[in-house]
Amino acid sequence: MEKLADSATDLRVVIIGAGMAGILASIKMTDAGYHNHVIYEKSDQLGGTWRDNTYPGITCDVPAHGYTYSFEPNPDWSQTFAPGPEIKQYFERVADKYDVRKKICFNESVNYCAFENEGWTIRTTKGREERADIVIAATGVLHIPSTPKIDGLERFKGSSFHSARWDHSIDLAGKKVGVIGTGSTAIQITSAIVDKVEKFSLFQRTAQWVMPIENQIYSDKDKSDFKDSEKRGVVVEQIHADFDNFSNGVIDAESASLAALADECLRNLEEGVRDKELREKLRPDYRAGCKRLIFSTDFYESIQRDNANLITSGIVTVEENGIRTEDGEFHELDVLVVATGFKADAFIRPATVLGRDGIDLDDAWSDYPSAYMSVSIPKFPNFFMLNGPNSPVGNFSLIQIAENQLDYLLQLMNEIRLGNCSQISATRNATEAFEERRIEATKKTVWNTGCKSWYLDKNGIPSSWPWSRQQFFDEMERPELEAFERI
């Protein structure tokens, strides 16, 4: 077993995950002089969610120029909302440019982290054991598929899979295809495949608020203009302004900006759906923004195709050849796609993580996942998270969030490198005070207005950042060191 670093310059850093945040962490670690670092990646490829999710129609609902590393602009995005394969290629290109791959151990998950003998013991699925001074969990938020308990699902004789495990060997042409779910993924799949299948059935439990968007295809001239930092900057600043407006809206349920957003979604519904009965099926009965908003250019148009069927009656059971619903109808299917999202509170799980004195992270999070400023957990020294609990997930770009969090934790790590301490983690008092303020602030948010969503923890409390985008940036600018235990 390797010995811990004797000098600050040799600090060993283990990064878990080679998705967007893991790639970013490796690049920034190198820039900051932390050359002794490694990334453990469970898959044989990098890319995180853009590697795992390959379903038809996958796009990012953040404009591409806002979903880009600040230090690595991409003038060649093909359209406003880039498709998944293009985003994955971007991350691969950036990783290659900064020589990140040489730091990645592919097909190797971290399944055990324990703080012992003043450092971290790391064990992987390949039987490797090593020691680390610092651990950065860049495992993402939505990476473990969630499949609800549906009676008879295992009896289905056709092709069935979760949307995050899409089976591309299945030719959908001429098939009767059913999709369970109406979140962003299901909406994108609907638009992508409805014209390719014989019959399309969308099983809806909850109607969604759908914001109309324009997905501009960029011309060669546009791409040439984006090479100019000033011209590109105008686009980026507009994206940030839109995020400010949106994030300020969702954190204040009575805000004018949220009311305007709801009006735009309602106008889209009223003008976009001709049939009154279908329109009412698609009308949400909760506040706009309470669930993650759906952005789409053509969902309403797609669900009105002659071969499309929106089913709102509850599922009773899955049978060998289809689904039977509460109204007694049987819906014959050849292919069944479960587009029911992810376990939003999984984070680094299923790895075992043990902090000081053997405290298990599962016990520390027995009520719900929490971390001071979303990055540090009491009694888990030198263990940091990117896009961790209570981050502004859903408020604005995850890349921008991760970049700011990484700058913050690099300042914490610098305390170790300067020799001011060897261990640093948030104090329990600071974390509890932060949580009290956060929970109180969630009461004003639209997420707290009565709907069920993955934004809520098991206690029904919104788990996302309840303050403004600017406040997040302000908090991330400089850590308040008195909130941290330093040994």
DSSP H/E element including 486: strand 484-486
pLDDT value at position 236? 95
Give the Å distances, CA to CA, from 345 to 138, 151, 178, 438, 458.
Answer: 14, 25, 27, 17, 9
Which of 311, 384, 338 is closest to 154 using CA atoms? Answer: 338
Token look-up 């092709």 returns 159
As a whole number, mean pLDDT of residues 438-447 equals 97
Rg over alpha carbons for the chain, rounded to the nearest Å, is: 23
Cβ-based neighbours of 65, under 8 Å, separated by 6 or more: 73, 74, 77, 226, 232, 235, 236, 239
Into which CATH architecture does domain 8-61+73-144+343-486 fall?
Answer: 3-Layer(bba) Sandwich (3.50)
Hey, what's the torsion of the CAs at 242, 248, 252, 258, to 10 degrees? -10
As a whole number, mean pLDDT of residues 11-19 equals 97
Contact between residue 63 and residue 236 where contact means Cβ atoms under 8 Å apart: no
Give the Å distances, CA to CA, from 305 to 196, 255, 310.
Answer: 11, 36, 10
Interval 398-423: pLDDT, tens: 999 999 999 999 999 999 999 999 99
CB atoms within 10 A of CB 58: 23
Collapsing DSSP states into helix, strand and coil, what is residue 159? strand
Laid out side by side, the sheet with 104-105 consists of 104-105, 37-40, 13-16, 134-137, 383-385
For all residues of the chain together, what is the average pLDDT?
A: 95
Collapsing DSSP states into helix, strand and coil, what is residue 319? strand
pTM higher than the cut 0.85: yes
In this predicted model, which residue has the larger pLDDT, 314 or 5? 314
DSSP H/E element including 265: helix 256-272
Structure tokens at 233: 């900057």
Interval 304-322: pLDDT, tens: 999 999 999 999 999 999 9
As a whole number, mean pLDDT of residues 47-69 equals 97
In this predicted model, which residue has the larger pLDDT, 347 or 381? 381
Which of 373, 387, 391, 389 is closest to 477 using CA atoms? Answer: 373
Contact between residue 314 and residue 206 where contact means Cβ atoms under 8 Å apart: no
Interval 251-310: pLDDT, tens: 999 999 999 999 999 999 999 999 999 999 999 999 999 999 999 999 999 999 999 999
What percentage of the chain carries pLDDT values higher than 90? 94
Q: Do domains 8-61+73-144+343-486 and 153-338 have the same CATH topology?
A: yes
Contact between residue 113 and residue 353 where contact means Cβ atoms under 8 Å apart: yes
Cis omega before residue 381 (within 30°)?
Answer: no
Alpha-carbon gap, residue 327 to 336, rounded angstroms: 20
pLDDT band at 60 (very low <50, low <70, confident <90, very high): very high
Sign of CA dihedral 433, 437, 440, 443: negative
Token look-up 């991409």 returns 74
Contact between residue 466 and residue 442 where contact means Cβ atoms under 8 Å apart: yes
**CB neighbour burial string for 75-98, b if at least 16 within 10 angstroms, e if fewer:** bbbebbbbbbebbbebbbebbeeb
pLDDT band at 9 (very low <50, low <70, confident <90, very high): low
Q: Are strands 315-319 and 210-212 parallel, antiparallel or unpaired?
A: unpaired
Domain ranges of the chain: 8-61+73-144+343-486, 153-338
pLDDT value at position 5? 47
Alpha-carbon gap, residue 426 to 438, rounded angstroms: 16
Structure tokens at 213: 């968007």
Top-tier CATH class for 153-338:
alpha beta
Collapsing DSSP states into helix, strand and coil, what is residue 248? helix
Structure tokens at 466: 């309840």
